[in-house]
Structure 1
Amino acid sequence: MTPDSTPAAPSAASASAPAPAATPLAVVVLAAGKGTRMKSDLHKVLHPVAGRPMLEHLLASAAELAPERQVVVAGHGRDQLEKVLGPRATIAVQEPQLGTGHAVQQAQQALADFSGDVLILYADVPFVSAATMRAMIERLHAPDAPAVVALGFEPQDPLQYGRVLAHDDGRIAMMVEYKDATQEQRACRLCNSGLMAVKSADLFDLLARVGNENAQGEYYLVDIVNIATLEGRPCAVIVTDDADEVGGINSRSELAEAEARWQARRRQRAMADGVTLIAPETVFFAWDTRLGRDVTIEPNVVFGPGVSVADNVVIHAFSHLEGATLESGVSIGPYARLRPGAVLKTGSRIGNFVEMKNAVLGEGAKANHLTYLGDATVGAGANIGAGTITCNYDGYFKHRTVIGERAFVGSNSALVAPVKIGADAIVAAGSAVTRDVADGELRLVRGEQLVKPGWADRFHDAMRKKKAEKTD
């Protein structure tokens, strides 16, 4: 076949020659783009998908390969990246931005004393799997010893992606950017994802010979493949079976599309694992949501980060959960809000319009209506009446409320922390409790009920008379 036909290149899933275990790995992540299409003060790669910055999705996958070094090439907004990354990665600055090849060159100093494999990734291509990354490294160590391994993909619409012109066995004949490609080359459907694996001994030597005589006047990373090929050194492409994993995110609409794809896959996985979703398209998970079996989730439920749900839990409609732990047999909602630190013990329940924050609801305890439990511990079997509030904040500090086992707190009560309600105690409805209540005690804090017989009748008579006089 001709080199500019679509090859039957090895897929990422089929790469098989394992890399030597002792070969160190460095990851270079390109994140220097200005992200102007995002129209945001937040760095493009810090915009979240499923509650997690896209850069963190990528680094989590890379972490499965245990890289010895991580270098993030930054430009605009690098202070934001430094704050997020801390000591996890070295920041290399690309200023000005002169192309992808120039960007990778900025990592040279950080890798000056490094010897091993280098994996080149893009921070705005966050969903490349660890399996695909591993396949690229394994191909780099195949018997034909390619100088460079590129990751290709075959989208439904090749659009303006660069093309990979390769032979049947995956050897690359040429790589070309779309703007520099001929019509014949553009007919090739195998596209360049931009991701590459290269041995450190070759990378910067090849980059030093990249020129910028092209349609954009930039230093293209793909030219390291063309330089090596012209020197008679083989380069190879492997093809991902999932074009979505190399989809870039450059605008708010693409961010929304990525979110939709991620959520669709997570919903399918949840149902495959034994979760009932009444209206799957209305449920939104976070990147780290953990769900047990026989969990039922009604429509319009949103999970923020840090939620763990055990078996046999029911989450009713229009509930929002973040940073919460639900043990087995729990029921929440509808219209429940669980904030970070909320823990519901086995068999407990919160109902409609109940909010919990940094609070523990004991086994079998319940707060069925219109309640706020903040900075509180509620004992097993306790009942919290409708309209109850734990008054946890004095304007300067947070304070804790402790409610004992089997305690009964009547409706419309205000528990002013710090305060303790003893086991089996009863707080009468409408009470404002400011002092501890002993075990088994009744606490009633209410103004005296005043009765004036006939007063209302006299009032109504007088007011009706006044209204009639004004009408006349």
Structure 2
Amino acid sequence: MPSNFVILAAGKGTRMESDLPKVLHEVGGAPLIAHALRLADSLLPDRVIVVTGYEGAAVAKSAAHWNPEAIIVEQAEQLGTGHAAQMAMPALTGTSGDVFVTFGDTPFIRTATLEAMQDARKTRDLVVLGFEAADPDARYGRLVMDGEDLQAIVEYKDADAATRAIRLCNSGVICTSAQRLPALLAQLKNENAAAEYYLTDIVAIARAAGLSAGVVTCPEEETLGINTRTELARAEVIFQARARRDALEDGVQLVSPDTVHFAFDTLLGRDAVVEPYVVFATGVTVESGARIRSFSHLEGAHVSRGAVVGPYARLRPGAELAEHAHVGNFVEVKNATIGEGTKASHLSYIGDADVGAGTNIGAGTITVNYDGVFKHRTTIGDRAFIGSNSTLIAPITIGNEGFTAAGSVITDDVAPGALAIGRARQVEKPGLARALMARLRAKKDKT
């Protein structure tokens, strides 16, 4: 059955003590809204609608980055979760199937959990996601059950002592028919302690209309919402633990798992090896059999099978390492391709460059790619040898099997198979060093 999503992302998040909208705070290097959009995308939905409010333009821009097809609607006045969902209803017109209402600040709900809700929809008109709270005094809404039937959701602030004693709590996530949801939301009232339109009231409305309601449960961790900096920090810990566990289960060797930092979209192939204290920022793919050595930082990079990175290497966005390439100690690569079997083992910057296969980049080599206004590209062919401390002034091309002498500043193209020397000729003055040092020492003795 087709699915649709309404993601509520209008809140300011006052308790975050931040000018940034709550859903733009990051877990795993990506904003919370990105996690919500990825979850929605996992079910291949027909429509994804994001409801914005506080700093709506910034939230809309981020949402469009992570899902360009997302439909953005605005909740100009924040009057509760039910009101926010109402704002999305015009964008649902003409669609069919199920609709999930989720939240932009809950990053850990799994695809399997939503699939279980969809499966429960085969026998229920409305399905709510619930969990057993570890803290009996937790301030969550309570799910009031009659056997297997959900009767109502009661917000904590509106609950009496007997209702608060219920341990089955509401996550806020619901699933129902896309055709039925608008009618249920239209009946919401704000007759409650907060004078808000609660999305949760649609359960009682549905039951009064003779519709059935049920509950699917998940671990409490999945439902974690981010409301404070403390909760954000806790979410990062949970995210990293989950990412490490998933990597190990997928056949990745993490030498010291607790020291490896993952991003929202890190992809590691089977039998990849990651040594201690490696940081993956967003946009990194490491293929099977590659090795990422200690204290390396990767972002927006692709590392092919059998390649070695580090230790102490930095791969920046656009770095592409072919099979069995080696980028070593204190080497930085940015917007550059490194060919198969090519080595840049020490102390080099390779930016805006294309380096062929089987080439050696000597220690201290720099591709000078920026003239203060424009970036320029360096091209190095196959089986070239770039001598240590070479400075390559782009735009420039070093042909196949070209050779640059150590210490050269290369400003012109080098033909295939040619040797380029771009340094001042050495001049030697016999005995001058001793004479100069004697003169300096004598001068020092007089002071």
TM-score range, shorter chain: over 0.9
Note the C-alpha offset of 1:186: 1.1
> Which residue matches 1:104?
85
* 2:355 pairs with 1:378: yes
Q: Partners of 1:348 and 1:218 in 2: how far apart?
A: 59
Q: Do 1:327 and 1:347's aligned partners in 2 also have CA atoms closer than 8 Å?
A: yes
> Which residue matches 2:195?
217
Could you say which structure has the larger radius of gyration?
1
Q: Partners of 2:94 and 2:401 in 1: how far apart?
A: 69
* 2:161 pairs with 1:183: yes
- In structure 2, the CA distance between the partners of 1:189 and 1:335, relative to structure 1 (3 Å rule), is same
> Which residue matches 2:181?
203
Q: Do 2:129 and 2:170's aligned partners in 1 also have CA atoms closer than 8 Å?
A: yes
Q: Secondary structure at the residue paired with 1:110?
A: helix
> Which residue matches 1:8?
none
Matched ranges for 1:81-230 at <5 A? 81-86=59-64, 88-114=69-95, 116-142=97-123, 145-146=124-125, 148-158=126-136, 159-169=138-148, 171-230=149-208
The alignment of Structure 1 onto Structure 2 pairs a total of residues equal to 443
> Which residue matches 1:431?
408
Q: Partners of 1:333 and 1:261 in 2: how far apart?
A: 27
Q: Secondary structure at the residue paired with 1:257?
A: helix
* 2:17 pairs with 1:36: no
Q: Deviations over 1:161-202 (max 9, x none)?
A: 010011332x01332111111112111110000111233444
Q: Do 2:128 and 2:215's aligned partners in 1 also have CA atoms closer than 8 Å?
A: yes
Note the C-alpha offset of 1:31: 1.2
> Which residue matches 2:227?
250
Q: Deviations over 1:68-98 (max 9, x none)?
A: 3332222111111332344623333223212
- In structure 2, the CA distance between the partners of 1:81 and 1:316, relative to structure 1 (3 Å rule), is same
**Root-mean-square deviation (Å):** 2.0
> Which residue matches 1:276?
253
**What are structure 2's unaligned runs of at least 5 residues?**
none
Q: Deviations over 1:291-348 (max 9, x none)?
A: 2222221111111222222222221111011222222221111110111221222222
> Which residue matches 2:326?
349
Q: Do 1:370 and 1:388's aligned partners in 2 also have CA atoms closer than 8 Å?
A: yes
- In structure 2, the CA distance between the partners of 1:113 and 1:403, relative to structure 1 (3 Å rule), is closer
Q: Deviations over 1:412-457 (max 9, x none)?
A: 1101112122222321111001111222222212112222223232
- In structure 2, the CA distance between the partners of 1:390 and 1:26, relative to structure 1 (3 Å rule), is same
- In structure 2, the CA distance between the partners of 1:409 and 1:167, relative to structure 1 (3 Å rule), is same
Q: Partners of 1:451 and 1:201 in 2: how far apart?
A: 90
With 319-328 and 61-70 compared, the bigger mean Cα shift is at 61-70
Q: Do 2:11 and 2:21's aligned partners in 1 also have CA atoms closer than 8 Å?
A: no
> Which residue matches 1:464?
441
Q: Residue type matched to 1:161 in 2? A: Y
**What are structure 1's unaligned runs of at least 5 residues?**
1-20
* 2:219 pairs with 1:266: no
Matched ranges for 1:343-422 at <5 A? 343-422=320-399
Q: Partners of 1:36 and 1:343 in 2: how far apart?
A: 42
Identity %: 52
> Which residue matches 1:234?
212
Q: Do 1:300 and 1:317's aligned partners in 2 also have CA atoms closer than 8 Å?
A: yes
Question: TM-score w.r.t. structure 2 length?
Answer: 0.93
Q: Do 1:62 and 1:133's aligned partners in 2 also have CA atoms closer than 8 Å?
A: no
Note the C-alpha offset of 1:109: 2.9
